[in-house]
């Protein structure tokens, strides 16, 4: 950064290639780079912007007015920035683009192989921005801007139409100049829902501006979101690797839910079937090491002769197993991935003997560990840094990370060894560098 006399290094907090700088003033500067990177400088802070691009570089940015810009990049990428949102413009261009210029509805772009393109862009303003909160956490930040208001007297009120999903108390807003960030923490839910949030900004002159956002909370969120615990015989689910050949360890547990006052008798004999898709998964083996619920049974068999079904039976002539609220594991079932999928369902069926009719919880194993720790849709060195920071909080205090999400919500065990370690950070960096890595199973 040049201050009129000397150049000084500006720390952006990223470790990637930067291709372009474009600005209107010393408080309104944009840069672009590899992996869909666009950042904005407001005179005080650099902030990464959402582009929706993760695999192609943004080579150039041009604009004729503040917050009215175009950007082009590799593989024919063309983006337009209006209403504080970057949107991709559909085109048939597949060549890499190097530069652009736009004014009004006219856009000119140039690229490799001496290519020049011209298009007339019809712009439709975004009245309602639709944002999706990422699966892995109940927390997100949304950037927006309120122009033509007196910043010194700016006040912003929020109103959520679905207060059960997102109460107004769980919406906080902070602004630097006219650039604002809305931090949202939805209430504990485990189903997919939406809410319409309206922000009303006003100043001492009486000028009023409004913005609306439709916020979507995906299912299977974690953190403070807890599904109803009803099963006594249950499969403990979670995130898994889903590359071909990846291993999935399925724990079968017996545990009385904390809110269940039913008295369950001792188990002396039992039977149950585990159902899975033999097109998606290949069953390899079972393990009862550290499975204390299996120990009392003199006879314990696991039969996988029927495709897609694993029959488990146990019996004893002495003292059996008594269920508790603490719970114990009955068996661990090991699978390999045959087909890459977003979700693998493992279900309990045909309970018999002393557990006949007992409540059950089936397992849902979702594809996770993709390396995008901070939820910005990009696997970058920032994710590796966040994983390492989580490791440094090994003593349990988990004070903070650079992820901009609560430390307790950081899901960084990408190698699925049960803990967050420097090996996870190394794996994420290898993924970013397009080298062999544990995320892709290489």
Does a structural domain hold residue 184?
A: yes
Distance CA 42, CA 30 (A): 9
Of residues 374 and 259, more confidently modeled: 259
**Is-above-0.85 flag for pTM?**
no
43 and 101 assigned to the same domain = yes
424 and 324 assigned to the same domain = no
The total number of structural domains in the chain stands at 4
Q: Please give the pLDDT value at position 246.
A: 78
Does a structural domain hold residue 228?
A: no
Does a structural domain hold residue 95?
A: yes
pLDDT band at 138 (very low <50, low <70, confident <90, very high): very low
112 and 160 assigned to the same domain = no
- 3-class DSSP state for residue 439? coil
**Nearest of 82, 135, 143, 92 to residue 117 by alpha carbon:** 92
**What is the distance between the terminal CA atoms of the chain, rounded to a whole angstrom?**
40
Domain end position, chosen among 217, 245, 265: 217
CB count within 10 Å of CB 428 equals 31
Does a structural domain hold residue 6?
A: no
pLDDT tens profile 196-211: 777 777 777 766 666 7
Of residues 35 and 252, more confidently modeled: 252
326 and 355 assigned to the same domain = yes
For residues 135-143, average pLDDT: 52
Does a structural domain hold residue 224?
A: no
Q: What are phi and psi of 64, to 5 degrees?
A: -105, -10
Considering only CA atoms, give the Rg of the chain: 27
Domain end position, chosen among 72, 88, 120: 120
pLDDT band at 301 (very low <50, low <70, confident <90, very high): very high
For residues 302-322, average pLDDT: 93
Cβ–Cβ < 8 Å for 375, 134: yes
Domain end position, chosen among 86, 120, 154: 120
The CA-atom distances, in angstroms, between 322 and each of 255, 256, 318 are 10, 10, 12
393 and 272 assigned to the same domain = no
For residue 297, what is the domain's CATH number? 2.60.40.680
Q: Is the model's pLDDT at 223 over the cut of 50?
A: no
262 and 361 assigned to the same domain = yes
Residue-wise DSSP of 46-69 = EEE---S--SS-EEEEEEEETTEE
75 and 105 assigned to the same domain = yes
The continuous run of DSSP H or E covering 387 comes out as helix 381-392
Distance CA 148, CA 351 (A): 66
111 and 133 assigned to the same domain = no
CA 329, 334, 338, 342 torsion-angle sign? positive
Environment class of 417 (CB within 10 Å of its CB; exposed 0-12, middle 13-18, buried 19+):
exposed
251 and 352 assigned to the same domain = yes
Does a structural domain hold residue 239?
A: yes
Alpha helix locations (H) across 215-363?
Answer: none
**CA 77 to chain CA centroid, nearest Å:** 24
The continuous run of DSSP H or E covering 171 comes out as strand 171-176
- 3-class DSSP state for residue 321? strand
The continuous run of DSSP H or E covering 392 comes out as helix 381-392
Residue-wise DSSP of 302-314 = EE--STTEEEEEE
pLDDT band at 149 (very low <50, low <70, confident <90, very high): low
183 and 267 assigned to the same domain = no
Range of the domain at 403: 381-432
Does a structural domain hold residue 262?
A: yes
Does a structural domain hold residue 226?
A: no
Residue-wise DSSP of 21-40 = EEEEETTEEEEEESTT-EEE
For residue 72, what is the domain's CATH number? 2.40.128
194 and 133 assigned to the same domain = yes
b/e code 360-372 from CB counts within 10 Å (16+ = b) = bbebbbbbbbbbb
337 and 391 assigned to the same domain = no
Of residues 369 and 237, more confidently modeled: 237
């Amino acid at each position: 950064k040049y201050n009129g006399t000397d150049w000084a290094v500006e720390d952006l907090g990223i470790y990637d290639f930067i291709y372009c700088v474009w600005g209107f003033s010393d408080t309104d500067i944009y840069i672009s780079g590899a992996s869909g990177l666009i950042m904005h400088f407001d005179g005080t802070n650099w902030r990464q912007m959402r582009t929706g691009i993760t695999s192609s570089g943004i080579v150039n940015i041009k604009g004729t007015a503040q917050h009215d810009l175009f950007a082009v990049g590799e593989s024919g990428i063309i983006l337009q920035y209006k209403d504080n949102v970057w949107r991709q413009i559909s085109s048939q261009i597949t060549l890499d683009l190097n530069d652009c210029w736009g004014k009004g509805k006219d856009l000119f772009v140039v690229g490799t192989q001496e290519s020049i393109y011209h298009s007339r862009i019809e712009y439709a303003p975004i009245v309602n921005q639709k944002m999706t909160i990422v699966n892995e956490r109940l927390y997100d930040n949304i950037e927006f801007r309120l122009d033509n208001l007196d910043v010194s007297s700016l006040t912003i009120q929020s109103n959520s139409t679905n207060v059960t999903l997102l109460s107004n108390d769980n919406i906080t807003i902070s602004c630097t100049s006219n650039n604002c960030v809305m931090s949202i923490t939805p209430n504990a839910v485990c189903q997919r829902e939406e809410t319409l949030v309206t922000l009303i900004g006003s100043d001492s002159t009486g000028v009023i501006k409004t913005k609306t956002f439709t916020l979507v909370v995906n299912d299977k969120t974690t953190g403070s979101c807890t599904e109803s615990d009803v099963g006594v015989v249950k499969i403990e689910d979670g995130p898994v690797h889903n590359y071909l050949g990846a291993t999935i360890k399925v724990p079968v547990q017996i545990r009385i839910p904390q809110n269940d006052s039913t008295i369950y008798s001792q188990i002396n004999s039992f039977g149950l079937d585990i159902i899975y898709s033999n097109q998606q998964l290949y069953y390899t083996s079972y393990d009862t090491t550290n499975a204390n619920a299996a120990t009392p049974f003199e006879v314990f068999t696991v039969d996988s002769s029927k495709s897609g079904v694993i029959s488990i039976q146990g019996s004893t002539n002495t003292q059996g197993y008594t269920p508790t609220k603490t719970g114990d594991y009955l068996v661990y079932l090991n699978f390999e991935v045959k087909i890459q999928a977003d979700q693998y369902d493992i279900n309990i069926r045909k309970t018999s003997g002393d557990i006949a009719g007992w409540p059950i919880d089936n397992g849902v194993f979702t594809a996770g560990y993709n390396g995008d720790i901070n939820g910005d849709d990009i696997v970058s060195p920032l994710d590796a840094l966040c994983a390492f920071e989580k490791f440094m909080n090994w003593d349990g205090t988990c004070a903070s990370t650079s992820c901009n999400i609560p430390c307790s919500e950081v899901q960084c065990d990408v190698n699925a060894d049960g803990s967050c370690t420097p090996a996870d950070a190394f794996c994420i960096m290898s993924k970013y560098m397009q080298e062999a890595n544990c995320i892709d199973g290489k």
